[in-house]
Structure 1
């Protein structure tokens, strides 16, 4: 079977050099080169929309590609198209750049000026890796093979703001609507998802931390399949082991999950660590949960500013969710939006702990009744975020019913 190779080279002279050598490789099938980062992503997205099998096995990225820098481009390709192997062509073959390229998701590096032997060796190795990944992806019946799943992180403005409850219910809503969903506890020292869902487990996110290539089989061994259908990747029972999950490990874990599940919801807790910061940076949607009180709102403002300073997330790319909302409170969502400088979700979660107390105490939060105003709001939030798969014809009705061991209702929120 020929190896399809897509060159991404911006310089005209470099295009001729790269394509000439690629055409001489045994069993190689070079495709028309792309000249910038935008064209590369658009081309891969178009092919992936047809089928993962249509994607080239190897993408060769030249160091002078633009406008997105080569390493950033490699990271985007690795995240969105995990079955494609990327080779970086560069004049800097130093150990430092090699390590950086690997951290960003490259499968190999070839030094300039190009050597036929080196290029042939790298292409062959990366092609074999890509074929192996696709074979594994095709082995499971529940494998998501789209361009990449949606990753949502949920962080708390302070401890007890409700991030874990929010993350769990968002994941349950997505799963119940028919989307393969993973729920990850990245609150590594104090994560409580297992307690909320009455789970006894042996494996945790730490078991993936030291693995360089997380195959679908390895990932499947680490997750716990809950009765609701959720795939759970839990925080370690021994909090000190959470230090083993570095930001680099977190990136690899999130990338592996994104390639396998349609929706990935990550509970990052209220304390920022390297792993949580990496997850927030990679997320399609980053939620920050606050309660409408001075201490929590100040905490939300502090978190937003810190994320911005550390270049993790811009304020306008963060969505604040107001929990325990009441019309009687002095601090209302518009004021929170003004203070934090972020968008605020249109769906606010009502203050009604009595609905939650029995299921929280029993560790059965997934059994929260459908008529609960808290559940309806959180599942409405999932709809607002686009996490639920709405059946055709349900867009115009007043209520949508989906399957969650019975019936699940989504009510349209009425303004005013």
Structure 2
């Protein structure tokens, strides 16, 4: 049997060394090394989408891989692609690291400098384990494989633009189409999802922050199942506890949820921190909500540029959704696209707050009338993101009334409009550490 091996090595010299040694192993088929964690996960997801059999038997992870640290990367690969045997390459042969690597899901550890006998032994053991797992899966065991569910993050250009309403409605739309859905509140200091859905629950995302291995039982204890069937992971009731949730915790939490749900919607709020930056970075779709006014559009521009500077996500990989839109507004979607450099959603959400006021005050957002033009627009947007099996034909028909973006609505911006919105300097980076490695997904 030929063993397929995918190395993940950032350093060019180390990559050549690993490739040379792998080429000497019998009955192996080494692939070209991938240089960072993002490309490794994307490559595995693409292969898994075709077939379980397309995945390599062994993945080698070098200790200096980035931007995600090696142990966190191993944990994510082991969780999302359990039929792949992962081996860590490291200069640290201490029992502490060995134990940490095994806890993360590694099937072996090879020490630097690389030796032929040790590498061959670890690769062979990991490959045999992988073959056994695949044989077990082929017998009909229900174990999740492949890329897992779709993760969508919803962030606000500034406070009050409708971020949480958007996140809740996207989750409700996905759930109504029969998909399993998790809704996460990563607005760690001011999250309001519990208020919008009339939920009182003492567990929160902060309770998972200190957990090294998020098992299904641990996750179940922290999640509240709403009457709609949506699994809710709420923000902490005490805002100061939000500081406990670091980027590493956020990655583990989102990975654990996406492995158990078809759709994961994350409300990232407005304030950028390490936790929601990690969520935006690993999301399949990142939505930025703005309103069509000068202050909000300037804020959206600052957010997009900050994400790019911090290598969280590129502007062209961000979807901008315009909320509270009217045809009479001076700032049209095409102008917002020009200012921010983002992709614009094919739907705009109309300015009909009166439709929302009753259900918001009652904490019954899930009971919003189906005739609401706001709901129709947001559910149509959910279809655009691929969160529902098929768009609601009624919502699509009425979407013309709720403001579907068109050339007629989004006319060419004037020089005065462009100068007015674009004026002003960028703000600082809120003290966030610049991320290393490749930018965005």
**TM-score normalized with structure 1 length:** 0.77
Matched residue, 2:437? none
Matched residue, 1:25? none
Per-residue CA deviation, residues 380-413 of structure 1 (Å, 9 max, x unaligned), is 01011111112xxx7xxxx548xxxxxxx55474
Matched residue, 2:258? 258
**Runs (5+) with no aligned partner, structure 2:** 8-14, 401-405, 409-441
Give the Cα separation in 2 of the matches to 1:167 and 1:188.
15
Aligned residue among 12, 17, 21 for 1:14: 21
Give the Cα separation in 2 of the matches to 1:76 and 1:344.
35
Contact 2:189 2:235 in 1 (8 A): yes
Q: Taking structure 1 as reference, are residues 63 and 238 closer, same or farther at Cα in structure 2, changes over 3 Å only?
A: closer
Report the CA distance between 1:245 and its aligned residue. 0.3
1:226 aligns with 2:226: yes
Matched residue, 1:172? 172
With 339-348 and 209-218 compared, the bigger mean Cα shift is at 209-218
Per-residue CA deviation, residues 15-42 of structure 1 (Å, 9 max, x unaligned), is 145x45xxxxxxxxx8644344489965
Contact 1:145 1:260 in 2 (8 A): no
Contact 2:183 2:264 in 1 (8 A): yes
Give the Cα separation in 2 of the matches to 1:130 and 1:222.
34
The alignment covers a number of residue pairs equal to 379
Give the Cα separation in 1 of the matches to 2:67 and 2:269.
32
Partner SS, residue 260 of structure 1: coil
Contact 2:151 2:264 in 1 (8 A): yes
Q: Taking structure 1 as reference, are residues 126 and 372 closer, same or farther at Cα in structure 2, changes over 3 Å only?
A: farther
Q: Taking structure 1 as reference, are residues 64 and 282 closer, same or farther at Cα in structure 2, changes over 3 Å only?
A: closer
Matched residue, 1:81? 80
Q: Taking structure 1 as reference, are residues 313 and 35 closer, same or farther at Cα in structure 2, changes over 3 Å only?
A: closer
Contact 1:177 1:388 in 2 (8 A): yes
RMSD of aligned C-alpha atoms? 4.1
Matched residue, 2:340? 340
Report the CA distance between 1:339 and its aligned residue. 1.3
**Runs (5+) with no aligned partner, structure 1:** 21-29, 402-408
Q: Taking structure 1 as reference, are residues 248 and 297 closer, same or farther at Cα in structure 2, changes over 3 Å only?
A: same
Per-residue CA deviation, residues 231-275 of structure 1 (Å, 9 max, x unaligned), is 111101111111000011111111111222111110000111110
Partner SS, residue 153 of structure 1: strand
Contact 2:224 2:231 in 1 (8 A): yes
With 143-152 and 290-299 compared, the bigger mean Cα shift is at 143-152
Report the CA distance between 1:112 and its aligned residue. 2.9
Q: How does 1:306-345 map to 2 (within 5 A)?
A: 306-345=306-345
Q: Taking structure 1 as reference, are residues 31 and 49 closer, same or farther at Cα in structure 2, changes over 3 Å only?
A: farther
Matched residue, 1:26? none
Q: Taking structure 1 as reference, are residues 164 and 349 closer, same or farther at Cα in structure 2, changes over 3 Å only?
A: same
With 7-16 and 341-350 compared, the bigger mean Cα shift is at 7-16
Q: Taking structure 1 as reference, are residues 70 and 359 closer, same or farther at Cα in structure 2, changes over 3 Å only?
A: closer
Partner SS, residue 182 of structure 2: strand
Contact 1:155 1:268 in 2 (8 A): yes
Matched residue, 1:24? none
Give the Cα separation in 2 of the matches to 1:374 and 1:194.
20
Report the CA distance between 1:216 and its aligned residue. 2.4
Give the Cα separation in 1 of the matches to 2:64 and 2:158.
44
Partner SS, residue 343 of structure 2: coil
Partner SS, residue 303 of structure 1: helix
Q: Taking structure 1 as reference, are residues 210 and 129 closer, same or farther at Cα in structure 2, changes over 3 Å only?
A: farther
Q: How does 1:5-404 map to 2 (within 5 A)?
A: 6-9=4-7, 13-17=20-24, 19=25, 32-37=29-34, 45-46=46-47, 49-51=50-52, 58-61=58-61, 75=73, 78=76, 81-83=80-82, 84-90=84-90, 92-93=91-92, 107=106, 109-114=109-114, 145-390=145-390, 399-400=392-393
Give the Cα separation in 1 of the matches to 2:74 and 2:371.
41
